Structure 1
Amino acid sequence: MPARPVIAIAGLACETSTFTPSKTLAPAFHPKRGDEIINKYAFIQPGTSLARAADWQGALIGHALPGGVVPRSAFEELASEIIMRLKDIVAARPIQGLWFDIHGAMCVETLDDVEAELLRRIRRVIGPDVLVSASMDLHGNVSRDLCHQTDLITCYRMAPHEDTMETKERACRNLVDLISQGPAGSGLGTPERLRPIKAWVPIPVLLPGEQTSTRDEPAKHIYGAVPAVEAVEGVIDAAIWVGYAWADEPRNRAAVVVTGWDETAVSEGAEKLARLFWDAVEDFKFVAPSGSFKDCLDAALASKAHPYFISDSGDNPTAGGSGDMTWGLTQLVARPEFKDASGPIVIYASVPGPEAVRMAVEAGVGATVTVTAGAEVDHIHSGPITLTGRVHAIKHGDRDAVIEVVLQVGSIFAILTKLRKPYHKEHDFTDLNLKPRSADIVIVKIGYLEPELYDMAADWMLGLTPGGVDQDLERLGHHRIRRPMWPFDKKFPKQPNLGARIIPASNKPLPESND
C-alpha cells in the first residue's frame, strides 16, 4: 500500500485597516501549532476521508480579530516560527502539499502584499515541486504574485461567511485530489508533474462588504453563477473576491480566479464571472436602509418593530475597526429619550475600558459606579466617555473580551469590555443577563448583520458612522490604490481589461506585467 502524501499546514490571517490607529500584535493571532491545528479542523481529524487520504502536519496558523496594521516585528516573529516549523517537518520526510490557511487582507508595516511574501518564504523551504492550495476570505486580495505562487486558490462564496469550513475543506480536498490523481496521464508521481492552469482577472472595483453581501442582489446572482462555471469539464475551482476596501495598497481590488486543466474553459469561465461583476457595478447598494446615526435612532424610535437593530458600522471590529471608539455611545447617552430607566430599552455593544471594567467588578452587580472608558487607541473622532450607572452584569472568561460588564445608564444597557469583542451571537447578550429579543433597540458595532442577529431583527438600519472602517470610502483618503477604481472614479477613460490572464505554474517564472 503506497504511503499517504504528507501535507503541511501554515498561514496567518487578519483583516487589517490602514485607517485604524490600533496595531495587531503577535499574541492577537492566538497561534496554533502541530496537533492544535488538526484539532481545530474537524474535516482533517482522524477517521475522516481527508485524514485517511493524507498525513496532515501542522506548522503554525494564526487567526487574529480584524484590526489595525501588523507591526513588522510581530509579522517577523510569527513568520520566522512558521519557517522554522516547516523546516522541521520537511527534514523529517518529504512533503507533497501545503495548505495555505489565510484571509488575504493582512497589512504589515513596510510590506505590501504580505501573504505573497509569506508564501515566497515558505516556498524557499518546501521547494518548487510541492503543491500549494490556498483558502481565503472573499474580502481578501488576490495579487498576480499570490495567484502565481499557488497551484490552487479559492475563497468563500457567502457573505456573511456561512461557508467558512466548507471552503477550507474544499481547498484541502482539491489539494488531495491534485496530489493523488490529476488529469489522466499527468504523471503526478514525478517532480515534473503538471500544474493546473489559472485564469486571473483583476476588476477595478473596491467596495465594502456592506454593499456586496451575497444575501442581496447583485452579488447574489454573481456568486450564484460560480457553481455553473465550476461544473464545466476541465475546471477544478472558480472563485470571486470582492477585495478589502479599508486598506490602502496597490493590490486591493476585486478579482476572479478560475483553475483547471483546460485553458479555454478556465479563461471563458473567469471572463464570464468578471463581466457579471463589472456589468453590475452601478447596482451595488447598501444591504439595508442607511443613514446618519441620528437618522437611525429617529427611525428606531418611530418604529413599532422591535427589536430594531442599528449597525454602528464605522468602528466595526470584525472589519478592522479599533472597536474602542466612543462616538456612537456618546451620541446615544446624549439623547433625552433614554435618560430615564423607564425609557425605551437600548442595548449597546460595546466599548472597551479595562479600568472601567476593573472598577465595576470591584463594586459588584447592583452597585452604582462612575467609570471612564474607550478611546485609548482611537480618539480621532471622540475622547473617552464617562458614565454613571448601575452594574447590571459581570462575566469572566470570554476569549476576546476576557471580562465583560453591563452598565445600565438610564434605559441604556452599555456593554464595557476589558478587551474589544465582536457581538454576533444571541448568547453574547443572554450570557450577560440581557434580553435582545425584548429590547426596543439593539446597537452593535458591525456592518451587515451576522445570521443570528439578522434573524432576530424585526427591522434594521446601517448607521453610516465615522471610524477606521467608514462606509464612505471616498472620505478616508486612499492614495495608493490603482486608478481608475470604482467608486472612487465614476468615469473610466476606456473599458477595463476583463480578459483572462493565464498565470504560469508556480514553479515557472512570473513575467513582468503592469497588472
Structure 2
Amino acid sequence: MARIAFGGFQHETNTFAPSKATYDDFLKPGAWPGLTRGAALFDAIAGINIPVAGYVEAAKAQGHELLPLVWTNATPSAQVTEDAYERVAAMLLEDLAKLVRLKELDALYLDLHGAMVAEHVDDGEGELLARVRDLVGPDLPIAVSLDLHANVTQRMVDLSDYLDIYRTYPHVDMAATGRRVAVQLDALLKGEGGRFKAFRQMPFMIPLTSGCTYEGPAKEVYREVKLLAQEPGVAGVSFACGFCPADFPGAGASLVAYATSQAAADAAADNLFEAALERESGFALEALQPTEAVREAMRIAAHADKPVVLADAQDNPGGGGNADTTGLLRALISERAEGAVLANLYDPAAAEAAHAAGEGAEITLALGGRSRVPGDAPYEATFTVVRLGDGQCTGTGPFYKGAHMKLGKTALLQKDGVQVAVASAKVQLADQAMLRHLGVEPSAQKILALKSSVHFRADFQPIAEAVLVVVSPGPVVLDNRELPFRRLRPGLRIMPGGPVFQPVAAE
C-alpha cells in the first residue's frame, strides 16, 4: 500500500475569448463540482465521469491510501487571472507541503486539462508541475491525466513521470483515463512500467470539430493509439488534438509514448506521428453558414422521424464562448423553423425577467448578444414564457453522466414556433437531461440547435436524423485562418494542408 496524494486544477483557455476566468469562477459549481478541498472531495466527485473519479475508484481497489488535496475547474474562457491561478496553486501546494514535511507521501496524481493559459503564465500546467516538482523533489512519481484538447508542452512531459490523455471526443472516457493512470502509477511504484518517454508535436493544427472520434481520421488515429499501447514494452501511448484558439508556442496537436526502453518509446511515438501525418488532409473543416444550415435542416426534417441537430459550434461555452450569441437563433426565427429548439442561451437577466413575469406571460427582451462578438448583437423581440426551471438536473448521457448540474434560473421562451432555452450558468448543451428539466423531450423536436461543438454527439447523435455543424458568430473560431495568431511556433500549419504560420516582424 502506498500513500498517494491527488488533486486537480482544470481550465481550457481560449486566448481570443471575451471573458477571463476569475477566482469566483473556480468556486461555483456548473456541470461539475466547484472548488473542493480535503476529505469532502471524495463525495463531491463520486460517480461522475471525470478523471479524478476514475482514478480514486481504481486506486482504492489497488489498496492505496488516498490523500485529497484540492480539485477545481472553471468553464472554458479567456486567460485565467493571475489572482485565480496563484490562489488555487497556493492551496494545492500548501496541502501538498504538509504531506512532504510529514514524509508520508509516496506518489502524486494530478487531474489537469493541459490547455491552461494564465495572465502571467503561458503554460499553466507546466508552471504548476514545476512548482510541484520543486516541492516534492526529483524522485517522487507524478502521474497526470490530460484532456484530449491539451496543448502538451515539453515542460509538462519533462516534469512528470506519466501523462495519459483522453481517447474519445466526445469525452466519454474521462473516468476511464483516470483508471489508466492508476494502473501505470501503481506499476511505477512497484519499480515497473514505462520510465522512458518520447514526445512529438505535430506540424499542423486540427480544427476543433474535426477531432471527433466517432468518424474520419480522428477515429483512425485513436485506433492506432490503442494498438500501439499494446506493443511489447510499451506502457502507454497518447495523442492530443490540441486546442487551437490559444496563441502561444505550445498550441497544437502532439503525442507522447512511454515504454520500458527509449527505443520502444521512440518507435511508438514515430509510428503514431506518421499515422496522424498521413491523415492530415482528412482533418479539413466542414461547416455551414446559419441560414444555409437552417434551410438544410428544415429540408431534412420535413421527411424525418428524428430531429436534425445543429451544432452552434463557435459559441460553445465548452471552448470559451459565452453561449449568448444570437446568429443561429435569428436564422431559425427568420426562416420560421417551427418545431426548433435552441439551447442553452446564457442570459441571467432574461431568465430573471421570465421568472418575474411567470409562465404564459409575454415579455419583450433584448436577448443575448452581450459578448460583443463581431457580427453579433442582442436579439430584440417579444417572447412567450413557456416554462420555468431551477436549473438543477443530473446528467444521464455518456458525457455528463452523474454530473449534478446547477444552471441557475432557467426559462423556455417561444417566438414564431421557435423555442429558446435560457440559462443563468454557462454549460454547453451536451445532455438530454438539460432540456427535459424544462419539459422539452429532445427526441420529439424537429430541429435541435445546441451550443456545443462535439460533446453533444455522445447523447444526441443516437437520436438524430442528421448532424450539421454551423459557423454562426462566436469566439470559438473553427477556421484558424480567421484567428489573429501572433505567437505560435514558426512553421506550424494553422489548418490541415496550410497555410503556415509566420511570425510578424517587429516594427
Verify same fold: TM over 0.5.
yes
Aligned mates of 2:13, 2:332 — CA distance in 1: 28
Match of 2:505 in 1: none
- Residues 168-194 of structure 1, C-alpha deviations (whole Å, 9 max, x = no match): 1111221122112426xxxxxxxxxxx
Q: CA deviation at 1:8?
A: 0.9
Per mean C-alpha deviation after superposition, the further-off stretch among 393-402 and 264-273 is 393-402
Quick one: which of 433, 436, 443 aligns to 2:449?
A: 443
Tell me if structure 2 keeps the 8 A contact 1:38–1:56: no
Check the 8 A contact 1:322/1:378 in 2, yes or no. no
Secondary structure of 2:409's aligned partner: strand
Q: Deviations over 1:480-501 (max 9, x none)?
A: 11132224484699xxxxxxxx
1:328 aligns with 2:332: no
**Do residues 9 (structure 1) and 15 (structure 2) align?**
no
In structure 2, the partner of 1:25 is 22
**Structure 1 stretch displaced more, 371-380 or 296-305:** 371-380
Residue correspondence of structure 1 range 23-172 to structure 2 within 5 A = 23-29=20-26, 30-39=34-43, 40-41=45-46, 42-43=53-54, 50-172=60-182
* 375-384 or 468-477, which deviates more: 375-384
Equivalent-residue separation in structure 2 for 1:218 and 1:112 (angstroms): 29
In 1, distance between residues paired with 2:280 and 2:190?
41
**Partner residue in 1 for 2:504:** none
Distance 1:353 1:158 in 2: 31
How many residues are matched? Answer: 470
Residue 376 of structure 1, CA deviation: 2.9
Q: Distance in 1 between matches of 2:199 and 2:128?
A: 20
Q: CA deviation at 1:37?
A: 2.8
Quick one: which of 355, 364, 369 aligns to 1:361? 355
1:466 to 466, 473, 482: 473
Q: Equivalents in 2 of 1:207, 1:236: separation in Å?
A: 26
Aligned to 1:220: 219
- Partner residue, 1:497: none
Once residues 273 and 457 of structure 2 are traced to their aligned partners in structure 1, the CA distance between those partners, rounded to angstroms, is: 27
The 10-residue stretch of structure 1 (386-395 or 371-380) with the greater mean CA deviation from structure 2: 371-380
Distance 1:45 1:129, change over 3 A: closer
Distance 1:51 1:28, change over 3 A: farther
Supply the distance in 1 between the matched residues of 2:474 and 2:490 (Cα, whole angstroms).
24
Q: Which has the higher mean CA deviation after the structures are superposed, 325-334 or 223-232?
A: 325-334
Q: How does 1:387-402 map to 2 (within 5 A)?
A: 387-398=381-392, 399-402=405-408
Secondary structure, counterpart of 1:290 in structure 2: coil
How has the CA–CA distance of structure 1 residues 397 and 430 changed in structure 2, closer, same or farther, with 3 Å as cutoff?
A: closer
Which letter does structure 1 place at the counterpart of 2:290? F
Partners of 1:459 and 1:488 in 2: how far apart? 26
Report Cα offsets for 1:105-139 as digits up to 9, x if no partner: 11111211110001111122222211000101111
What is the rounded CA distance, in whole Å, between the counterparts of 2:497 and 2:354 in structure 1?
51
CA distance in 2, matches of 1:487, 1:45: 38
What SS does the aligned partner of 2:80 have?
A: coil
Aligned counterpart, 1:238: 237
Determine the C-alpha separation between the residues in 2 that align with 1:9 and 1:489: 38
Cα distance, 1:224 vs structure 2: 0.5
- How far apart are the structure 1 equivalents of 2:24 and 2:254? 31
Distance 1:95 1:37, change over 3 A: same
Matched-pair contact (CA < 8 Å) for 2:294–2:331:
no
How far, CA to CA, are the matches of 2:352 and 2:253 in structure 1?
44
**Distance between the aligned counterparts of 1:44 and 1:212, measured in 2?**
25
Partner of 1:496: none
3-state SS of paired residue (2:184): helix
- The Cα of 1:51 is off from its aligned counterpart by 4.7
Deviation at 1:334, TM superposition (A): 3.0
**Cα RMSD (Å):** 2.0
> Residue 427 in 1 paired to residue 433 in 2?
yes
Q: Aligned to 2:427, what secondary structure does the other structure show?
A: coil
- More deviation in 71-80 or 317-326? 317-326
Other-structure match for 1:317: 317
CA drift at 1:27: 2.9
Alpha-carbon shift at residue 377 of structure 1 (Å): 3.3
> How far is the alpha carbon of 1:91 from its aligned partner?
2.8
Q: Give structure 1 stretches of 5+ with no counterpart.
A: 184-194, 339-343, 494-515
3-state SS of the aligned residue for 1:165? helix
Kept in 1, the 8 Å contact 2:114–2:125? The answer is yes
Cα distance, 1:212 vs structure 2 = 1.8
Q: Indicate if the aligned counterparts of 1:68 and 1:322 stay in contact, CA closer than 8 A.
A: no
Q: Partner of 1:508 in structure 2?
A: none
Call closer, same or farther: CA 1:400–1:328 in 2, change over 3 Å: farther
SS at match of 1:17: coil
What SS is found at the alignment partner of 1:351? strand
SS at structure 2 position matched to 1:161: coil
Q: Per the alignment, do residues 454 and 492 of structure 1 end up closer, same or farther by CA in structure 2, a change over 3 Å counting?
A: closer
Taking a change above 3 Å as real, the CA distance of residues 330 and 132 of structure 1, as seen in their structure-2 partners, is same
Aligned pairs (5 A) from 1:272-421: 272-286=271-285, 290-303=287-300, 304-305=303-304, 306-335=306-335, 337-338=336-337, 344-398=338-392, 399-421=405-427
- TM-score normalised to the size of structure 2? 0.88
8 A contact 2:206–2:495 mirrored in 1 = no
Find the residue that maps to 2:99 and give its secondary structure. helix
Is the CA contact 1:8–1:97 (under 8 Å) kept in the aligned structure 2? yes
Q: Which amino acid aligns with 1:355?
A: A
* Distance of aligned partners of 1:52 and 1:221 in 2 relative to their CA distance in 1, 3 Å threshold: closer
Q: Which secondary structure does the structure 1 equivalent of 2:132 belong to?
A: helix
1:378 positional shift: 3.7
Q: Quick check: 362-371 or 235-244, which moved more?
A: 362-371
Return the letter of the residue paired with 2:109.
W
Aligned-partner residue type, residue 106 of structure 1: M
Work out whether residues 43 and 50 of structure 1, in 8 Å CA contact, stay in contact via their aligned partners in 2.
Answer: no
Q: CA deviation at 1:49?
A: 5.8
In the alignment, what sits opposite 2:396?
A: none
Return the index of the structure with the highest Cα Rg.
1
Aligned partners of 1:361 and 1:489: how far apart in 2? 47
Deviation per CA, 1:346-391: give whole Å up to 9, x if none: 1011222222111110111111111233233344332222231211
Q: Distance in 2 between matches of 1:354 and 1:170?
A: 39
1 CA distance for matches of 2:389 and 2:315?
Answer: 23
CA distance in 2, matches of 1:27, 1:177: 38
Give the Cα separation in 2 of the matches to 1:481 and 1:178: 35
Q: Tell me the CA shift for residue 33 of structure 1.
A: 1.4
